[in-house]
A and B are shown apart, each in its own frame.
Chain A
């Protein structure tokens, strides 16, 4: 902003009208100085001078020690892609807005984002295709593709099906090699599950062969769960059994208080394995904050978004190669670009301030749902993320009616119930949960979903009865 304004002022001065401008400003606004000058300049040129927001500059890059890839610190997560309006889905159920995705990808590439992370499971299985369509319009050497072997369902875990999944990825992504291939969300279900998915069928060894053949440039895994499987993976790495080129972990300033996360990061740093970060914003939960928490952050840097704090936190750690963000809208992308172009690491004082903020956030009894939709589809038709998100929204807004004696109880009750019906159709609401627990093993945040839904359902039932 500053540079541009000075240029324009410089130009005006050189044109010899500076004195007139200052004079005019003095008479028109009864105040001489920068602001008045800008206004007049604006009037003269017919343009708005500056937007009040930081300019997007040069992207910050980190180097992958294995391949020497210069990876942009901001990566594009292709899990929360924009959708077309209801009723305009394709016949095969694809509801992604390809036009918008192309626009976002073009803009991101243009501003230096070169890491794109997708999976065969994302967006009801349509993410890879959309990503491929958008990226194939650009030269293959200008971006890196990350995708995953997402063989979660038992019928996908045979050797043939898993290989097919990898070949489909290549086909959808319109490429003959994958830059970053991940074993998807390991850790849940312990080593048993890991063995079932990747060892018993020999798929991990097959992937290593693919890497040798040049079809995979970097092999790694994304991790959710306790440390048992993680430590085992690190052991294998140390023993030379398998070499992990990179690892994707969940990391953000709220979860940092959880020792598991810090442990994972430092274990990777120790081995010089670059970390790719997922859930930097906890699916938007670190953006949709209670107002006083937002104000707490704004008090320090008024023109910076809450998201920028989360990314600057990550960028402060040198072993973070790339922070993935699922940017659904252009303004998300632009905001993140402002943060990363270039990234300004947190000062020590800011770091302390952010950890204080984390403590404020953790006081709220929200459910740690990041809207990743791994739990969906629920076999009994519930819309689990929508139920949890509505609940979180109400908690954050302070709109959960509690005390019947409160004079505002009836009004809050009405608002709560109506907004619940708007967010979730009746047949997909929490009171329909049969407790089959299918979702539990799918949740990367390890939320006890049936228990949480039962809690929400009974509080809503009570609310309904309190007419």
Chain B
């Protein structure tokens, strides 16, 4: 019974969280957004006290139920492990289970050493390694980069059908790879998790996973736990064979609560009713030695993000811009019909990454973002993508080749569970008002690429499309007011939305582009 409830709850959470990443309508968030907010590392980084207290309390009380129900990666591993059990060639193993106590076990020193390393990394702003391994973000990356394109493609099949039948239920979305490094990371971590859970059940959770390690520490002395009644136990080992966390030592009638994930598989395995889930009995713990139960938390420590080599970066940016700049040459028309060929836009190497509106600062993103990509999958304008730069690896950055950060949209700030992007307000109107005055970047004009300079034609599209009215057109030649007009950016009005960069007719490198700023501010 306990197991059935656990499985049902786990499926609900797993499907809910997965849906958050695959939802194309943006509607799921209103209903299921709290599931992302329940995730441990994001809650810690967001200093979401209520959630932290709840998870810690539950873990102290009854153990690592979190790992079996709330963590989507944990549920996925249970699924893989269950499948592996079903596929086992050995009939006995198929029937009675295939695990042995303490297999795949990382020594205590190694485990806590790893945890210590994670803590140090978080404090010193090198969260990248933590978020690469943290379960929820890792799962989010896998879904966003591997599954989402398939869903998008399916959606487009439906949209094609709808278009043919004058229906507006589905509409086409762009299927694109947001970042190659992110895809590689996701595939590698999926293969790692798959192999480990196929052969070792919850091996990943009990050796590598930072959240599993922290919760394991907390659950060491959990009040309610699996107890083995030594009087009833015949030592048959059935429970041990079933335990995918490899936490049961049937010979000594003990359960390692630091590794037990409260899956309750063992309860059903015992023929003699020797196992129960209840208050701790003396001598039932394999590891009674006191340990430092320091709570893991992100301390806003000094962030030594190295000063980027500004001059070198700007040189590279300018060089790529100029070398590859090819201005649209107006084709001379000789016949009717047909289209001018449009080259795809290419991104500039920005000196400073542009953070999503509401992210406050680069530092805030670097410290709090777990790289789960929920914001990336929520962005309807194809603007957000995981960064591939080392200092903010996997964290969201803006780029405007496929769209710009539209004034009415605040999807990313609504979904972030980790406090890396903070909601812009309470109501839609409040959020829109805030967004239209929140400066996230600054537009920079690249004279040599600009249509009037390179092509000798008038343009002014950036000025007409700027939602902030920050671009005005001034005479190219100051002495000749009748000369062609070129854009001039009022930095104090520019909010960095990228409309100018995205819509600029010059391809592949626009004649105006947006640079990030380190701290966002309201104008």
Contact = CB atoms under 8 A, between A and B. Distances in A.
A421 B334 contact: no
Interface in B446-473: 451, 457-461, 464-465
A120 B330 contact: no
A3 to B, nearest CB: 40
A124 B337 contact: yes
Contacts of B171: 418, 421-422
A156 B403 CA distance: 39
B258 to A, nearest CB: 49
Interface stretch (B2-10, B125-133, B231-239, B338-346): B338-346
Name the residue among B328, B336, B338 with the largest chain A CB count within 10 angstroms: B336
Name the residue among B330, B335, B457 with the largest chain A CB count within 10 angstroms: B335
A156 B407 CA distance: 47
Contacts of A428: 339, 342
B461 to A, nearest CB: 5
Interface in A111-156: 120-125, 150, 152-156
Interface string B401-412: 001001110000
B503 interface: yes
A124 B336 contact: yes
Given A432-B505, A434-B505, A465-B408, A414 B337 contact: no
Given A435-B461, A436-B330, A465-B407, A372 B336 contact: yes
A168 to B, nearest CB: 12
A179 interface: no
Interface in A362-398: 372-374, 376-381, 383
Interface residues of B, number: 35
A153 B461 contact: no
A438 interface: yes
Given A379-B328, A442-B333, A431 B340 contact: no
A387 to B, nearest CB: 13
Contacts of B457: 434, 436
B367 to A, nearest CB: 32
B451 A434 contact: yes
Contacts of A442: 333
Contacts of A122: 335-337
B172 interface: yes
Contacts, number: 111
B274 to A, nearest CB: 60
Contact of B168 (A377, A383, A418, A426): A418
B311 interface: no
Contacts of B12: none
A93 B341 CA distance: 12
27 contacts: A123-B335, A123-B337, A124-B338, A373-B337, A376-B338, A376-B339, A377-B331, A378-B339, A379-B333, A381-B340, A381-B341, A383-B339, A415-B168, A418-B171, A419-B168, A421-B172, A422-B171, A434-B451, A434-B458, A434-B460, A435-B461, A436-B457, A436-B458, A438-B330, A438-B333, A454-B464, A464-B408
Interface of A: 79, 93, 120-125, 150, 152-156, 372-374, 376-381, 383, 414-415, 418-419, 421-422, 426-428, 431-436, 438, 442, 454, 464-467
Interface of B: 163, 168, 171-172, 328-342, 403, 406-408, 428, 432, 451, 457-461, 464-465, 503, 505
By Cβ-Cβ distance, the 5 closest A-B pairs, closest first, are A379-B330, A125-B335, A373-B337, A381-B342, A418-B171
